[in-house]
Chain A
């Protein structure tokens, strides 16, 4: 798994001297700006992040563990046409995710059709029987989705993972852009970049659109586990930029199946909660009884239709690893079309034919435990020893239903500032898709994560990953205001 041969999104396949024609301006900018200058600007961006407190806290004995995620100054660019087709694919996928959740907690037509084995749903802890039969206000489940994409060539985008629970990282999309505007204003003269700063407004519109009933002025809040949570900065940032209250569980009470927030003047009714608390901790009466972060009675209020929860509890079944390989079928079933954004090819070892293929090709494949996480129980064929492959073969034969396999992908790279200058580094991409009762919106941008170590494919911030700004170029003919595409449900 190296960098050699990978598609570079700026340089194409030809290297720094022959960039893709559309991006020559970026290459010129890089060539005309000294490495020292780039380093200096990058450091000043990181210093600003630290002062603003855009940190990921790793709480231990002291706050030395409050870290910032490294920021890379060279942006990643999407052409207007690239973005248009990407966002069509994203809209389609998120519509399918919402339809799937509505179905799986309701009629379960897709199971009746035999497209997904029922045990993958019902024996899966991510299916929450506690919320079965509840229809959320306006029938929207996944209001905010983060779809993780990887790219292997000019037109080859793949969905690596769906995030339909509480995807994070959108504050980086916004803060990275702020930093770029401040530090590299000349780039925005060179390229017409679609703005992302409307995201908080779009998010608030989305929240307001799903308020129960027809309240013209619904009370919306962001619910955080508290300031010790590692993503607290993002929670307060979002509440602040939407101009709504950031609340903790202790601020909320449920009475008579209605949620209230406690103010100095008494209780005020709450209609929409963007909760950044996991399902398990939402309501101690329904989920984990030891949860101190939850609000007793919250699910009763939700069941009674008196509050919208963003995202809906139980969404984990839609972004589960075991379900992922069925996403092409899910998209086709609910939208009547083939998926515009393909999955990474996945062999389900529970089925005999794929199992045979996987066993024959172990040295080339990545094999994953369906219910494993954090890289535990994973075989990376190309780098594994003979013994490891033999052990995995035995495990696969014993319990094939617990595994899936995927090819090792040559992830695309983007030029990234390293000590000696620019070098290609692997990236992935998380765009954010909003779904309200008035349609699906994709804000033109997202979070690009970059693996800063040479050859590494691991973009996680905990393992040396960084972030980049992601420019979506505007169509030269379109007016600048077209900040988001909107499409009906």
Chain B
């Protein structure tokens, strides 16, 4: 499938900012089933952009801009060719061993209720893969997914108790639950083609199954990611894979507006 992405993140500030430093995880990498045809990250002001690869293998772009800045628009456009691989990730850059993804972070600490829910949901599972499928379905059934929205720092435990969840929250719950079952799991931020405008990138999870490797699960949809999905960044949790992490020097408040279109293009891969 050929997917076109057009993604604006517009920050507006109530007072002009002196300086902005942002770390962008907005560039997808190639895998066997995902080929980036063209890709561009641009900003609407004078800025220095520097590319690098982080410890997790993500392509990151550092953005440095001097003020006064009343607003900044980070604009991503690109095209990606995808094929369906039943969720299994082949030939991705994997600088770190799966074991690492068993560790818990503040945002993926399971809390008191989630582990019980997880073990109940997967009881009777035949093998780890079956366990993960059951977990994926159980979370989807329990959390009718709220629309994607900018990150507010919610943890898996808090979202589980609140009972309301975006794709980000459900992905973090999936990760926390999988790790509590001793299965390495990680957070994925990326795009999913859809006919309507979206207000945040999509989020799902990947779990590691011995002998198969990393496999994607989208607990918000109760599905396995297929050719409509574009993987951009991975991390231990939502913060670690955030599309934009930023700091600003200046007073006042900021407001983020996201305008995101992910469309299936005519023509085959």
Contact = CB atoms under 8 A, between A and B. Distances in A.
Direct contact of A and B (CB under 8 A): yes
5 contacts: A123-B100, A123-B102, A130-B54, A285-B21, A296-B21
A303 interface: yes
A127 B127 CA distance: 30
Contact of B96 (A129, A134, A255, A304): A129
Given A130-B55, A304-B52, A254 B21 contact: yes
Interface string B219-247: 00000000000000000100100000111
A469 to B, nearest CB: 43
A170 to B, nearest CB: 31
B133 interface: no
A256 B21 contact: no
B99 to A, nearest CB: 4
B48 interface: yes
Given A296-B247, A297-B62, 20 more contacts: A119-B99, A122-B96, A123-B103, A125-B103, A129-B56, A130-B54, A130-B55, A131-B55, A132-B55, A133-B55, A254-B64, A255-B48, A256-B48, A284-B247, A286-B23, A289-B245, A297-B21, A297-B64, A300-B60, A303-B52
Interface residues of B, number: 27
Nearest to A132: B55
B244 to A, nearest CB: 10
B15 interface: no
B247 A257 contact: no
A454 B97 CA distance: 50
B57 to A, nearest CB: 8
A213 interface: no
B19 interface: yes
Interface string B92-128: 0001110110110000000000000000000000000
Contacts of B99: 118-119, 122-123
A472 interface: no
Contact of A253 (B19, B56, B236): B19
B31 to A, nearest CB: 19
A86 B19 CA distance: 51
B100 A300 contact: no
B97 A285 contact: no
Contacts of A254: 21, 64
Contacts of A123: 99-100, 102-103
In order of increasing CB-CB distance, the 10 nearest A-B pairs are A132-B55, A296-B247, A122-B99, A256-B48, A122-B100, A296-B21, A300-B62, A129-B55, A285-B23, A257-B50
Interface in B141-186: none
B38 interface: no
B100 A255 contact: no
B52 A300 contact: yes
A286 B21 CA distance: 12
Nearest to A291: B247
B97 A122 contact: yes
Interface in A261-288: 284-286
Interface string A245-260: 0000000011111000
Interface string A295-336: 011001001100000000000000000000000000000000
**B22, B60, B62, B245 interface centre (most CB from chain A within 10 Å):** B62
Contact of B247 (A122, A128, A133, A285): A285
B195 interface: no
Nearest to A298: B21
B53 interface: yes
Given A256-B64, A296-B21, A297-B62, A304 B50 contact: yes
Interface in A44-95: none
Interface string B58-73: 0010101010000000
Given A257-B62, A297-B21, A300-B23, A129 B100 contact: yes
Interface in A115-155: 118-119, 122-125, 127-134
Q: Which of A129, A289, A300 has the most CB of B within 10 A?
A: A129
A296 B244 CA distance: 13
Contact of A289 (B21, B50, B239): B239
Contacts of B60: 300
B52 to A, nearest CB: 6
Looking at A134, A289, A296, A297, which has the most chain B CB atoms within 10 Å of its CB? A296
Interface string A164-198: 00000000000000000000000000000000000
Contacts of B103: 122-125
A99 B103 CA distance: 25
A413 B97 CA distance: 47
Nearest to B48: A256
Contacts of A127: 100
B245 A285 contact: yes
Nearest to A108: B97
A122 B245 CA distance: 24
Contacts of B102: 119, 122-123
Contacts of B48: 255-256
Contacts of A133: 53, 55, 95
A127 B102 CA distance: 13
B55 A256 contact: no
Contacts of B50: 256-257, 300, 304
Contacts of B62: 257, 297, 300
Contacts of A128: 55
A119 B182 CA distance: 12
Contacts of A125: 103
B192 to A, nearest CB: 26
A297 B245 CA distance: 11
A132 B239 contact: no
Contacts of B66: 255
Contacts of A124: 103
Contacts of A130: 54-55
A254 B7 CA distance: 27
Interface in A225-262: 253-257
